[in-house]
Amino acid sequence: MFLHFLLHLVEELFISSGSGIVLNTQKIDKNIELLKGQAWFKQLYEDERYHRLFFVNRRVRKYLQSTIVVKKIISNPKAHQKFLLFLDKEVERSRQT
């Protein structure tokens, strides 16, 4: 819980420094909860390689900010696959930095 709070604090400081679009943390967290109702997402969320992305990766958080997109990921197999490919690319990108 403390780590979660700390990551949010760092994110808020980053956002308030004037770099980019402001993300709605509450909306993102709500959408993550929607996805956690899916068994496949629960496995991803618990996987250490992906878990960190949901808290610190700005591109992933921006992707998850849209409830419409999240509902599409849940209901549409193509959107689901696209999301998985996106996450894999972000995992790879994070390894390179």
Annotated domain spans of the chain: 2-96
| Residue of 10, 16, 49, 50 whose CA lies nearest to 32 | 50
Distance of CA 58 to the CA centre of its chain: 8
Residue 21 tokens read as: 């679009």
What type of residue sits at position 72? K
Taking the model in full, what pTM does it have?
0.75
| Contact call for residues 79 and 72 (beta carbons, < 8 A) | yes
| pLDDT at position 7 | 54
Q: What is the pLDDT of residues 22-65, one digit of tens each?
A: 899 999 999 999 999 999 999 999 999 999 999 999 999 999 99
Instruction: Please tell me the distance from the alpha carbon of residue 71 to that of residue 18, in angstroms, as a whole number.
Output: 30
